[in-house]
Amino acid sequence: MIICRSKADMRATVRDWKRSGQSVALVPTMGYLHEGHLSLVRMALQNSDRVVTSIFVNPTQFGAGEDLDTYPRDEERDLALLTTENVNAVFAPDVDEMYGAGGDTFVEVPGLSGILQGALRPGHFRGVSTVVSKLFNIVAPDIAVFGEKDYQQLTLIRQMVRDLDMPIDVVGHPTVREPDGLAMSSRNVRLNARHRQEALALSKSLELADGLAKSGPDVAALEKAVRQELAKAPSGEIKSVDIRDAETLAELGGRLDRPAVVLLAVRFDTVLLIDQRVVAPA
C-alpha cells in the first residue's frame, strides 16, 4: 500500500495507474475507521481496478465550539486496517499541504448548504464541498463512494458533481449499523455507557417511521411520532427531525405520497449523532 503525504505524490501515483488503463475509486474519510468505512472500501474495490482512501480531518467543516480538537484519530490503526483490506493507496496530507497559505477559494452548493444540518452547523457544508472538490481534483477518481448515513452530504456532493461537470460516478452505500441498530460513527466511542444505550432511540424511531410510512400518513403526524420516540432518550437533545423528498430534500406537506428521507440529529452531551432512513408509502 502506497502512502502519499503530498498532492504531487498522489497525482503521480494515479497518473501511472491511468496510463495503464486502470480505473480509480476514492473513499474519502476523516479517519478513525470502523466497519462502516471498510464497507465503503469493499464496494470501491468491487467497482474499480485501484482504490485510494483519504484520511484527513478537515478543519473547514468544523464550526466554533465543535469537536475538531477532540475528534478521534489513530492513523497507525487506520493504515493497518486499510492494508488488510488491500487498499492500493492512502492519501494522508496535513492541513498545510491540503490548504496551503493564503487560500481564499471555496466551493458551495447554496440551496443544499443552508438547510437541515447546514442550518444547525453554518459553514459546515461549504467546508465539505470545498474539501471534496479538492480531493476530486487531486485524485481524479472515476468513482467516489460515500455512506448514505450522511444523506444530505451525499445529495450535496451529487449535485456539485452534476453542476460542475465532474466526470465522477458518486456511489452511495447503505448505512452500516452495530448489531443493536446504532449507526456506526467515529463519534460513537465518545458516548458514555448511558448515552450509548439511549442513542438506540435514533434507530428505533426510524424503524417506527418506516412502519408508519407504509399507510401514507400525514407528514406532520409522522414527524410527531418520531419526536415522541426520540424523547424516550432523556439525555438526548433533539436538534432536528426532518422529513424531506428522498431525491431533492425538498420540504413535504400533506400526506406522504412518495419516497421520503427521515433525517435525525440528536446531541448527547458534546456528541452530535445523525441518522437517516428512506421510507415510502406501500
Q: Three-state DSSP class for 113?
A: helix
All cell numbers assigned to 74: 489513530
Of 37, 124, 173, 195, catalytic: 37
- Compute CA 106 distance to the chain's CA centroid, rounded to the nearest angstrom: 19
Q: Please confirm, yes or no, whether 37 is among the known catalytic residues.
A: yes
CA angle 7, 37, 87 (to 5 degrees): 55
Residue 224 is inside which H or E element, if any?
helix 219-230
Q: What is the spatial distance between Cα 95 and Cα 88, in angstroms, rounded to a whole number?
A: 23
Q: How many CB atoms lie within 10 A of CB 274?
A: 22
List Cβ neighbours of 79 (8 Å cut-off, separation of 6 or more).
Answer: 1, 3, 90
**Which of 199, 265, 205 has its CA nearest to residue 229?**
205
| Complete DSSP assignment for 252-280 | --SB--S-EEEEEEEEETTEEEEEEEEE-
Catalytic machinery residues: 37
